[in-house]
Amino acid sequence: MSQLIRMDHTGHTVLAEWTMGDQASVDGAVARFREQLDQGYFAVVSRGEGHAEQVRELPLEAETVILRRPIAGG
């Protein structure tokens, strides 16, 4: 079961869960994913030790996709 997680004021929120064989869950996750990107979130997937990749399409094979807000110089 893969998860789409958003870091927010609650700590984090699981927005969607999907499995590759369940098309309805995939469609739901893709819809939530696009909705969050439209709201200004960036989606990130861990790629091994010390590496992460920003993704613009939901990677269905990923175990966890994390949504983060933009950072800025203080």
Partner 1 sequence: MPNQGGLPELAGVWWRRRVSDRSLTRAGRLWTLSALAQTIPLVAAALVLAALRPLTIPVGLILLAHAWAIPELYAARGARVLKPPSRGRRSPPEAERLALGLLGDLLDHRPRELQRRTGLVLERGRLGVWLLGEAGALLVRPGGRRVHCYCVRVPDPELPAADRIAHLLLALREDEVGFATVANLAFAGAPWRVRRRVPAPVREALAVALAEARRRPVQAG
* Residue numbers at the binding site for partner 1 (CB under 8 A): 5, 7-12, 42, 44, 46, 49-54, 66, 68-74
For residue 57, the minimal CB distance to partner 1 (Å) is: 15
For residue 63, the minimal CB distance to partner 1 (Å) is: 11
Give the residue with the Cβ less far from partner 1, 24 or 72: 72
Give the position of tokens 């989606």. 43
d(CA 71, CA 43): 13
d(CA 30, CA 50): 26
For residue 66, the minimal CB distance to partner 1 (Å) is: 7
Which one, of 13, 67, 59, lies nearest residue 38 by Cα?
Answer: 67
